[in-house]
Chains A and B, each alone.
Chain A
Amino acid sequence: DAKTTQPNSMESNEEEPVHLPCNHSTISGTDYIHWYRQLPSQGPEYVIHGLTSNVNNRMASLAIAEDRKSSTLILHRATLRDAAVYYCIPRLRIGNDMRFGAGTRLTVKP
């Protein structure tokens, strides 16, 4: 399994953009990069995923480095509801599990 490195914690002010980094230097060419988040007292929820190209959806953007050894989850305007633990997870293309690391705990200050 590809190993990931994420900051233990980050802080942001409300209404400001947040860039959450993830290093996955051992990623294979067929691994997708998934991001999930877990709000307090809830199960994880999907945020976004990508393979090579940058991806955008209504929740966030995912910027993937050209060598795919790192990626950045971008929340364009943080809200208090975005306070959560964010997990970066490389996943094999052919059906498999997800191995959650420790993630990054994001605190959003009003």
Chain B
Amino acid sequence: GAGVSQSPSNKVTEKGKDVELRCDPISGHTALYWYRQSLGQGLEFLIYFQGNSAPDKSGLPSDRFSAERTGGSVSTLTIQRTQQEDSAVYLCASSLRGSDSEQFFGPGTRLTVL
């Protein structure tokens, strides 16, 4: 079956523009996670969804970042007024349930802010 997919795979944008990153989780997975990874760094947790609700938004770095999930499936991460420090690979993962189940990661979206 299909794994987690993310689009676009690469995004180059100018400072100050808004961007939307999409994640399609594995069908039937109730939990969805967003992370980001700056060059040469470890993963940074951003937000977690259980169904359509986000009980933990503590990792969002600023109010320029927002995310939503609709229909218990697709999720969109939006970054408004992008800054150069937002450049990173944004990874999405999904899992069947919560923390006792394996997370499956997508290939990521590489965001470059010029």
A residues within 8 Å of B by Cβ?
32, 36, 38, 42-46, 49, 85, 87, 91-103
Q: Are A97 and B56 in contact (CB under 8 A)?
A: yes
From known contacts A43-B107, A44-B43, A103-B42, infer whether A97 and B59 are also in contact, taking CB-CB under 8 Å: yes
Residue interface mask B77-114, A partner, CB < 8 A = 1: 00000000000000101000111101111111000000
Closest CB in chain A relative to B102 CB, distance in Å: 4
The A interface, classified by DSSP as helix, strand, loop or mixed, is loop
Nearest neighbor of A100 in chain B, beta-carbon distance:
B43
Total B residues in contact with A, Cβ cutoff 8 Å? 25
> Does chain A have a CB within 8 A of B52?
no
A98 to B42 alpha-carbon distance, docked (Å) = 12
The B interface, classified by DSSP as helix, strand, loop or mixed, is strand
Q: Can you list 25 contacts pairing A with B, beta carbon distance less than 8 Å?
A: A36-B103, A42-B107, A43-B91, A43-B105, A44-B93, A44-B103, A44-B105, A46-B104, A85-B42, A87-B43, A93-B98, A93-B99, A95-B31, A95-B50, A95-B55, A95-B97, A95-B98, A95-B99, A96-B48, A96-B99, A97-B33, A98-B99, A100-B42, A100-B44, A102-B42
A32 to B106 alpha-carbon distance, docked (Å) = 23
Nearest neighbor of A46 in chain B, beta-carbon distance:
B102
Nearest neighbor of B107 in chain A, beta-carbon distance:
A43
Nearest neighbor of B47 in chain A, beta-carbon distance:
A97
Q: Are B45 and A99 in contact (CB under 8 A)?
A: yes
A92 to B99 alpha-carbon distance, docked (Å) = 6
Q: Are B100 and A93 in contact (CB under 8 A)?
A: yes
From known contacts A32-B100, A43-B105, infer whether A96 and B56 are also in contact, taking CB-CB under 8 Å: yes
The 3 closest A-B pairs by CB, nearest first: A95-B98, A43-B105, A100-B43
